[in-house]
């Protein structure tokens, strides 16, 4: 290689070396800048952390025997249930104030089933099924009014199952086939009568249901009798006709005890069927046929009394093979060592009077099995009856 060729090669080598050095220097500068920024960020983070810790400490640490409440350091004073003053206790409506539990419902609220009454809690009154006053029951169209479940379909609507429509605040099945008018007549100091619209297809529905006769009932134990009666009484398919009767009775009186007397008279005036081995009817069948045994009529009356919100039971006399009804009444007027007043359904008879002989030659001597149907109100009007008519 000539001397002239070596000069450019050396120059190129120097240029390359210089470029590399520049890049290395540039890289170091960038690295230093990044390191500087990282240190700045770290310093800022540390400062912020210190500030946060300072504020947390300042606002939450109040020193021995104090704690932060509503932005202030206050003394730690406990009530006997370990509630710190002035916090609410877990036992509503109490609030711990300076070591003493004070009622403070307006701040701490009330337990379920209770309502705020200034700083106290009062139990929210309910009807027999647990529905609060002035509220709709889960069983439409029932409405809780002053402790009594009444029909109020205009407010509560009708059941979603089936196909019902609202009429005079009761729910009646739509598109029922073959409506039949039943004339109802009974006496209670005066004559009462009204019409009921019933339906052949609903009657046929009950006719097709499984039935048991009185012979089968006599074989049941006391526990099974309870289930037997309550199952029939609580059947809801034809309840629209029960609602219709109560609606009619409501037009005769606005006094609940008087309504009970009228419903009792209505059932007592239904024709008696004396066949003791006949199938036990559902209330709809008894009303449709306008006849029934003592058991059929007792079941119907128990259902009506229950619907009006009274405590009721069925009296089952095993020895005499007789069925009657009991209604909750004052202790001094109860019948047969029970908490109920006796109601006979086969003959016109005042509530509370146990007939010595309810049928020709049949005398009630045994103690009945008491089948509780519902808890509820007490029938008070029995107090007005002459003492010689009471058991």
Res 391: pLDDT: 41
Q: Is 5 left (phi over 0), alpha (psi -120 to 50) or beta?
A: alpha
Token pair listed for 19 = 């470029």
How many other CB atoms are found less than 10 A from the CB of residue 86? 16
pLDDT tens for residues 114-129?
A: 888 889 998 888 887 7
SS3 168: coil
What is the per-residue DSSP string for 245-275?
Answer: HHHHHHHH-S-HHHHHHHHHHHHHTSEE---
| Closest alpha carbon to 372 in 216, 212, 225, 213 | 225
Host H or E run for residue 149? strand 148-151
DSSP string, 362-387: EE--SPPEEEEEE--B---GGGGS-G
pLDDT at 344: 94
* pLDDT (tens digit per residue) in 294-325: 999 999 999 999 999 899 999 999 888 899 99
> Does residue 73 contact residue 62 with C-beta atoms inside 8 Å?
yes
Contact between 232 and 240 (Cβ < 8 Å) = no
Q: What pLDDT is recorded for position 388?
A: 42
- Digitized pLDDT (tens) for each residue of the chain, 391 residues in all: 555 555 555 555 655 666 666 666 666 666 677 777 777 878 888 888 877 765 555 555 677 888 888 888 899 999 999 999 999 999 999 999 999 999 999 999 998 888 888 899 988 888 877 888 889 988 888 889 888 888 888 999 988 766 777 877 878 776 666 789 999 999 988 999 999 989 898 899 899 988 887 767 667 777 788 888 998 998 888 888 998 899 899 899 989 899 999 999 999 999 998 766 678 999 999 999 999 999 999 999 999 999 998 999 999 998 888 999 999 999 999 999 999 999 999 999 999 998 877 665 678 888 899 999 999 999 998 854 444 444 4
pLDDT at 356: 74
What is this structure's pTM?
A: 0.61
């Amino acid at each position: 290689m000539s001397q002239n060729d070596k000069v450019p090669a050396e120059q190129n080598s120097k240029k390359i070396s210089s470029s590399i050095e520049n890049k290395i220097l540039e890289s170091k500068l960038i690295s230093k800048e990044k390191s500087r920024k990282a240190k700045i960020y770290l310093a800022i983070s540390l400062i912020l952390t210190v500030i946060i810790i300072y504020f947390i400490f300042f606002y939450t640490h109040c020193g021995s025997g104090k704690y932060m409440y509503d932005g202030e350091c206050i003394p730690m004073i406990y009530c006997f249930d370990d509630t710190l003053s002035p916090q609410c206790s877990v036992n509503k409506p109490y609030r711990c104030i300076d070591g003493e539990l004070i009622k403070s419902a307006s701040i701490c609220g009330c337990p379920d089933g209770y309502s705020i009454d200034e700083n106290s809690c009062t139990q929210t009154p309910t009807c027999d099924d647990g529905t609060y006053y002035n509220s709709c029951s889960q069983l439409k169209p029932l409405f809780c009014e002053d402790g009594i479940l009444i029909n109020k379909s205009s407010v509560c609507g009708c059941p979603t199952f089936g196909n019902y429509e609202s009429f005079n605040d009761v729910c009646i099945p739509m598109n029922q086939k073959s409506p039949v008018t039943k004339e109802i007549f009974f006496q209670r100091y005066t004559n009462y009568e009204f019409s009921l619209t019933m339906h052949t297809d609903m009657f046929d529905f009950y006719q097709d249901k499984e039935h048991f006769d009185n012979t089968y009932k006599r074989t049941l134990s006391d526990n099974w009798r309870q289930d037997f009666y309550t199952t029939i009484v609580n059947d809801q398919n034809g309840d629209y006709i029960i609602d219709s009767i109560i609606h009619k009775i409501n037009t005769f009186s606005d006094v609940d005890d008087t309504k009970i007397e009228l419903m009792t008279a209505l059932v007592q005036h239904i024709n008696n069927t004396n066949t003791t081995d006949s199938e036990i009817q559902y209330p709809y069948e008894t009303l449709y046929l306008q006849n029934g045994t003592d058991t059929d009529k007792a079941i119907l009356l128990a259902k009506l009394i229950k619907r009006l919100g009274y405590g009721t039971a069925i009296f089952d006399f095993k020895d005499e093979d007789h069925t009657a009804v009991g209604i909750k009444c004052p202790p001094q007027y109860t019948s047969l060592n029970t908490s109920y007043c006796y109601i006979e359904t086969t003959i016109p008879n005042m509530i509370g009077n146990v007939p010595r002989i309810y049928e020709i030659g049949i005398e009630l001597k045994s103690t009945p099995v008491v089948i509780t149907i519902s808890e509820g109100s007490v029938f008070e009007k029995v107090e007005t009856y002459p003492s010689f008519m009471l058991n």
